[in-house]
Structure 1
Amino acid sequence: MIYALDAKLRDGNATLPQLLQHWAQSTPDSLAFREKDYGIWNRMTWQHYFETARRFALGLKSLGFDKGDRLAIASEDSPEWMFADLATQAIGGVVVGIYPTNPWPELQYIVHHSNSKFVVCGDQEQVDKVLDAMDKHATGLPDVVKIICADMKGMRGYKLDKLMSFEDVLELGDQYFASSPENARAFDRAIEQTQPDDTCMLVYTSGTTGPPKGAMLSHRNLIVTVDKLKTHFRLDRHNYEVVCYLPLCHVAERAFSTVLHLLTGGVVNYAESIDTVAVNLREIAPTVFLGVPRIWEKLQQGILIRMQDASRFQRWAFSRCMAAGQRLFERVEARGGRRSLSDRLQFFLLWLVMFRNLQKFIGLDRMRCGFCGGASVSPEVLKFFRVLGLPVFQVYGMTESGGVVFFQHEKAARLGATGLPIDSLNWKIADDGELIVKHPAVFKGYLHDDGATAKTVVDGWLHTGDIVALADNGELMILDRKKAIIITSGGKNIAPSEIENALKDSLYVREAIILGDGRHFLSALIQIDYETVGKWAQERKLAYTTYKSLALLPEVRELIDEDVKRVNKLFARVENIRKFLILEKELDHDDGELTATQKVRRNVIEKTFSREIAIIYGGGTA
């Protein structure tokens, strides 16, 4: 079995359920999961993972689940998420992930659009959304035959034939397994029949410019990209341990906590929630860590805020060590990353005095490699962690590319770039600067949307929609989304993300949206960081009660004005921000201003804050 699977992996012919079966057979008692419950990290082996997935799969079959059917999962990250995921794939089904933060209208759209027959819910909140989608929307959810809930707490009074618990499905699976020898072999036989080009999951895009589209991904799409990371960084079951905290319906978390987990046979630890990530990181100290830009920004802020509260000597030592570390980093960078013995000794002293404790404080002292992806990030953020001796690399990919197709590593780690292409990737830059790629990882198309598929994939080439350039060392640099490029009334093309990231380098700026398309100057809508600006205001005894009252303080405007002036010095005059407004409310997913992955929906922003924009450009009054 082991050698057969190795051959399949070399040929790109393995499937995810086959990988699960492999680890259950070869290392049944090895650790696969940890989940924290009542303060204790509970352990689950690969054998338990496989057997629970089998029980759930057979339970689905007894409920009438057929090959090709779709099962939606609306839940926080948990082992149950993965049991349902791999069980569905193993019997030829397709998994549809739904963000647990999605309001019921978005859930209704995805479940209805995907024709999902089963919905797995994490708890009462998610079940209520499904019921609202059934009752409050004109079309309802006519395809749904069963709602399966993992945590039935608070649902004793629910009287609904379609509702059943996760445990009930497992028990049905046990009964199906015991009913006949033929049924007992059904799961293993179904796994053998899975094919690498079978669609195994639907990932709905974040919908920054319109309704989400369901990208169809196969086992091959996902494995051929992630396997390149595994090979390059020499990851295996002895050194692969991650914390799962991003929603599993996001292709980035799926790549690391599902695909790479199954490729390496390592360990996944489920964070208690997105709010406890910092604590869970310190408890687990993962060897591999994936962070979207906001997570790395928050980790950096955690250190900087902590130092503000430190003693005068500690602040002095921190600033001296950071200054020395930056000089060392810049010197090594100028030599192409080559470190002399003197450089190594100097870093060891800085690590001994300061950096070791900072690494432990954020829980990354065991990290072999860290990755940043999902959106553009300020180079200054990555520089901060590299100065501390933490290898954080930019990666680039998208749902439609099956995951990572460009990544940085030790020999290609230019700040502001996203690395070199994976092996066998065909790619080119179109005349308008758009990146176009061709590879077996390119997705199978959008569900029920041949028109959008035809526009995105032309003759096998995926049009990414990203405007790019090349650094002098050959690394790819992402300038911005094609649709986000601002063309001023003077005809100047400006990529707003670079300016926005420079603004977000400030501790006090949570979000920045640059405006100016078709206008004669640039402006910005700025959302302050409620936590850090609030702390700043308290230290100056400035009174406030809510985000709005804090944002309206004239002293806060002066604080942000200093940041805007700082950023303007970094860019050409035509790229300077001439006016800005501080938003009186925080951007919110429920209000449609942010996607589930916290990306700004620019078209919604233009409508929601039309009054503020009119004030900036002279068409309204404050």
Structure 2
Amino acid sequence: MLDHDNLIRGNVTMPGLLRLRAQERGAQVALREKDQGIWKARTWAEYYRDARRTALGFLKLGLQRGDRIVIAAEDVPEWFYADLGAQMIGVQVVGIYPTNPWPELQYITRHCQAKVAITGDQEQTDKVLDAMANGEGLAHLERIFCVDMKGLRRYEPGRPDSFAHLLALGDQLLAEDPEADRRLDASIDSLVPDDINILVYTSGTTGPPKGAMLTHRNIAYGAYAYAHARQMIGKRFESVCYLPLCHLAERTYSTVLHLITGGCVNFAESVDTVSTNVREIAPTFFLGVPRIWEKLQQGFEFRMKDSWKLQQWVYRHGMARGRVLSDRRAAQGRLTGLADRLEFGFWWLVLFRNMQRHMGLNRSHTRMCGGASVSPETLKFFDIIGLTVAQGYGLTEAGGLAFVQVPGRPYVSGSSGPAMEGAQWKLGEDGEIFIRSPGVFKGYLHDEKGTADVLDAEGWLASGDIVEIRGGDEVAVVDRKKAIIITSGGKNIAPSEIENAMKDSEYVREAIVVGEGRKFLGGLIQIDFETVGRWAAERDLQYTTYKSLTALPEVVELIQQVVDQVNSRFARVENIRKFVLLEKELDHDDGELTATQKVRRGLINAKFARELQIIYGS
């Protein structure tokens, strides 16, 4: 039964929710995908039907409860069918980032012992075939099914088959054995909330990825508790699915929250078309990583620089007055004075309404920033124009979020909000936060020691994050415990706060603070190629490549000004004394970033030995 008490405890299963939605809303649109310029809809009944066909296809292949499949694909409806279809028969699903090179795909597929791979296209299929042919291969993998078969017709028969063939196998089983349908229903009925249904491999910033085993309860709780805290229940849910579905954030909101709310998910054509697709759809819910929110802000600011002087004047004055109103709203939780509400209404009619429409967020009632910390100035920009973006805190092992900012509550600077209903927390002596909730995972696959290191017998999860308490019951993340820098003078410094301050600048794309065991802090800085390039062009500075742009003395001086401004906000011991501009952009393929675009700190000394030599001389 879908009531608050059951949902807040996660007393549901994903296939059970899908079946319920198909029964209640069979004719309503559940999924939309753009095909040759036209948005094509699929109903809840069709979603459920094709997930069942996929489940029967897996049964025809001989998959059994407890087996695993991997999905390496961009976001497409077939991702959903394979995900929910596998879960219907108790098969666990492992998502793999489309950007992962074949060695990383091989590691995950071997580690989880997957028997079937679902691929999106030729590129992803080639990675699986490379993983099978090289190194230790993929001994457990038996079949590959590809969604988009373009370019694969001349491949060896059966390697891969099409996803349509997998559906046909399901149809074949049903034709051969009419009882298969009844057995599938019985399988769905036999699922329980504490069954493991998905594995999410951590990004591996400090070591090899670990397979976090999550249950139906874990992810249902995380999605519902978030929606309840954000007052989304009962409101129209329509989203744009564009972040990798193997990441728990997109999986939680595009798959699980979709099942809970019964809304509609629209698949973006690609990451490059997200802005266009968002304007077309005008979603009511939007999840963005920091870079998406930054690009939306920068894009509008660049546009205003090229507009008429009158428009620029209106923009400057509207944003200035909007900042005053935003500050009052932050202090009180909402605008209480009639004069303030009337003034905001005026600027909404004159300016903010058009800005919201331009971004495609004019219908949105809930906006979320996930994946990493974001610049406070970026958040302020959206709050000024009436598009408040909420932040939260959590981790994969806690089912996603455990804390989230809630509407109508005074804003606490740097906070991730109070704990969601059902989540308990406590602090260790060093400020590490421990969490216990229905979202806490079962453990790491094939890693009893790793599980014991973070999860005790009473269900308390050691997060590895150092936090501060603000506003009485809200938490603000200081940094990862393993990321804390201890200088040669014995000072403990959290680098992320300094790095985030650096990234407040539109000219800085990434900043890495170094200084472990050193006398002072240094910085490895990646410029933002687009904004610094525009800045250079406005000054008629000549460059041809990223490397040549970083070599310009004027660019070095520009970043020095940014460093000086940031240093003025911190104690002297936290100042960046010397920095180096990286000559290339950090890249996942080169092992410098994880699939979630986080810096692999464990490789800094090896990857940036030359830069560290420049900073420290030895």
TM-score range, shorter chain: over 0.9
Cα separation, partners in 2 of 1:180 and 1:6, compared to 1, 3 Å: farther
TM-aligned CA deviation for residue 351 of structure 1: 0.9
TM-aligned CA deviation for residue 313 of structure 1: 2.1
* Residue 613 of structure 1 pairs with residue 601 of structure 2: no
Whole-Å Cα distance in 2 between the matches of residues 558 and 132 of structure 1?
Answer: 46
* Residue 219 of structure 1 pairs with residue 230 of structure 2: no
1:377 aligns with one of 369, 374, 378: 374
Cα separation, partners in 2 of 1:528 and 1:10, compared to 1, 3 Å: closer
Letter paired with 1:70: R
Cα separation, partners in 2 of 1:95 and 1:149, compared to 1, 3 Å: same
* Residue 247 of structure 1 pairs with residue 244 of structure 2: yes
TM-aligned CA deviation for residue 437 of structure 1: 0.7
Quick check: 2:513–2:521 contact (8 Å CA) kept in 1?
yes
1:123 aligned partner:
121
Cα separation, partners in 2 of 1:5 and 1:174, compared to 1, 3 Å: farther
Letter paired with 1:512: A
TM-aligned CA deviation for residue 232 of structure 1: 3.2
Task: Provide the aligned length of Structure 1 versus Structure 2.
Answer: 616
Quick check: 1:402–1:441 contact (8 Å CA) kept in 2?
yes
Cα separation, partners in 2 of 1:534 and 1:258, compared to 1, 3 Å: same
Whole-Å Cα distance in 2 between the matches of residues 399 and 334 of structure 1?
Answer: 32
Question: What's the CA shift string for 1:224-283, capped at 9, x where partnerless?
Answer: 121112223343575101111110000011110011000000111111111211111111
TM-aligned CA deviation for residue 7 of structure 1: 7.8
Whole-Å Cα distance in 2 between the matches of residues 496 and 306 of structure 1?
Answer: 33
Quick check: 2:10–2:216 contact (8 Å CA) kept in 1?
no
Quick check: 2:8–2:224 contact (8 Å CA) kept in 1?
no
Letter paired with 1:579: K
* Residue 395 of structure 1 pairs with residue 392 of structure 2: yes
Letter paired with 1:116: A
Q: Which runs of 4+ in 1 moved over 6 A?
A: 4-7
Question: What's the CA shift string for 1:63-121, capped at 9, x where partnerless?
Answer: 11111110100000110100000000001100000000000000000000000000000
1:19 aligned partner:
17
Letter paired with 2:239: V
Paired residues for 1:49-88 under 5 Å: 49-88=47-86
1:509 aligned partner:
508
Quick check: 1:197–1:219 contact (8 Å CA) kept in 2?
yes
* Residue 318 of structure 1 pairs with residue 315 of structure 2: yes
2:486 aligned partner:
487
* Residue 209 of structure 1 pairs with residue 214 of structure 2: no
SS at 1:101 equivalent: coil
Quick check: 2:333–2:407 contact (8 Å CA) kept in 1?
no
Query: Root-mean-square deviation (CA), in Å?
Result: 1.5
Quick check: 1:435–1:468 contact (8 Å CA) kept in 2?
yes
Whole-Å Cα distance in 1 between the matches of residues 525 and 45 of structure 2?
Answer: 50
2:40 aligns with one of 42, 45, 50: 42
* Residue 497 of structure 1 pairs with residue 491 of structure 2: no
Quick check: 2:56–2:169 contact (8 Å CA) kept in 1?
yes
Structure 1, 215-224 or 515-524: larger mean CA deviation: 515-524
TM-aligned CA deviation for residue 512 of structure 1: 0.5
2:161 aligned partner:
164
Cα separation, partners in 2 of 1:147 and 1:603, compared to 1, 3 Å: same
TM-aligned CA deviation for residue 590 of structure 1: 0.2
2:106 aligns with one of 98, 105, 108: 108
Quick check: 2:8–2:225 contact (8 Å CA) kept in 1?
no
2:180 aligned partner:
183
Quick check: 1:24–1:50 contact (8 Å CA) kept in 2?
yes
* Residue 330 of structure 1 pairs with residue 327 of structure 2: yes
Q: Any gaps of 5 or more consecutive residues in structure 2?
A: none
Paired residues for 1:517-532 under 5 Å: 517-532=516-531
Whole-Å Cα distance in 1 between the matches of residues 535 and 500 of structure 2?
Answer: 21
1:279 aligns with one of 269, 272, 276: 276
Whole-Å Cα distance in 2 between the matches of residues 173 and 297 of structure 1?
Answer: 45
Quick check: 2:9–2:221 contact (8 Å CA) kept in 1?
no
Letter paired with 1:158: Y
Question: What's the CA shift string for 1:153-180, capped at 9, x where partnerless?
Answer: 0011101434211001111111111223
SS at 1:420 equivalent: coil
TM-score of the aligned structures, taking structure 2 as reference length: 0.97
Question: What's the CA shift string for 1:380-430, capped at 9, x where partnerless?
Answer: 221111111112111111110011110001134323110000112221011
Quick check: 2:282–2:363 contact (8 Å CA) kept in 1?
yes
Question: What's the CA shift string for 1:116-142, capped at 9, x where partnerless?
Answer: 0000000010110011001122x1001
TM-aligned CA deviation for residue 472 of structure 1: 2.8
Whole-Å Cα distance in 2 between the matches of residues 68 and 36 of structure 1?
Answer: 35
Structure 1, 309-318 or 66-75: larger mean CA deviation: 309-318
SS at 1:170 equivalent: helix
1:144 aligns with one of 111, 131, 141: 141
Whole-Å Cα distance in 2 between the matches of residues 495 and 39 of structure 1?
Answer: 48
Whole-Å Cα distance in 2 between the matches of residues 10 and 466 of structure 1?
Answer: 25
Quick check: 2:288–2:368 contact (8 Å CA) kept in 1?
yes
Whole-Å Cα distance in 1 between the matches of residues 126 and 89 of structure 2?
Answer: 28
2:300 aligned partner:
303
SS at 1:458 equivalent: coil
Letter paired with 1:377: V
2:476 aligned partner:
477
Structure 1, 393-402 or 368-377: larger mean CA deviation: 368-377
Cα separation, partners in 2 of 1:305 and 1:473, compared to 1, 3 Å: farther
Cα separation, partners in 2 of 1:335 and 1:54, compared to 1, 3 Å: closer
1:569 aligned partner:
568
Quick check: 1:417–1:478 contact (8 Å CA) kept in 2?
yes
Letter paired with 1:47: A
Quick check: 1:286–1:366 contact (8 Å CA) kept in 2?
yes
Question: What's the CA shift string for 1:428-447, capped at 9, x where partnerless?
Answer: 01100101011121100000
Letter paired with 1:88: A
SS at 2:443 equivalent: coil
SS at 2:444 equivalent: coil
Cα separation, partners in 2 of 1:594 and 1:417, compared to 1, 3 Å: same
Whole-Å Cα distance in 2 between the matches of residues 237 and 171 of structure 1?
Answer: 38
Whole-Å Cα distance in 2 between the matches of residues 220 and 136 of structure 1?
Answer: 38
Whole-Å Cα distance in 1 between the matches of residues 8 and 291 of structure 2?
Answer: 36
Whole-Å Cα distance in 1 between the matches of residues 556 and 9 of structure 2?
Answer: 59
Whole-Å Cα distance in 2 between the matches of residues 466 and 426 of structure 1?
Answer: 16
SS at 1:389 equivalent: coil
Quick check: 1:382–1:415 contact (8 Å CA) kept in 2?
no
1:423 aligns with one of 421, 427, 434: 421
SS at 2:87 equivalent: helix
TM-score of the aligned structures, taking structure 1 as reference length: 0.97
Q: Any gaps of 5 or more consecutive residues in structure 1?
A: none
Quick check: 1:321–1:350 contact (8 Å CA) kept in 2?
yes
Cα separation, partners in 2 of 1:83 and 1:325, compared to 1, 3 Å: same
Whole-Å Cα distance in 2 between the matches of residues 497 and 346 of structure 1?
Answer: 37
Question: What's the CA shift string for 1:178-229, capped at 9, x where partnerless?
Answer: 2233112222221111111110001000000010000000000111121112
Quick check: 1:383–1:415 contact (8 Å CA) kept in 2?
no
Cα separation, partners in 2 of 1:11 and 1:394, compared to 1, 3 Å: closer
SS at 2:425 equivalent: strand
Quick check: 1:244–1:257 contact (8 Å CA) kept in 2?
yes
2:544 aligned partner:
545
SS at 2:426 equivalent: strand
SS at 1:541 equivalent: coil
Whole-Å Cα distance in 1 between the matches of residues 422 and 475 of structure 2?
Answer: 16
Whole-Å Cα distance in 1 between the matches of residues 464 and 270 of structure 2?
Answer: 32
Quick check: 2:149–2:162 contact (8 Å CA) kept in 1?
yes
Letter paired with 1:99: Y
Name the % identity.
57
Whole-Å Cα distance in 1 between the matches of residues 261 and 332 of structure 2?
Answer: 34
Letter paired with 1:216: M
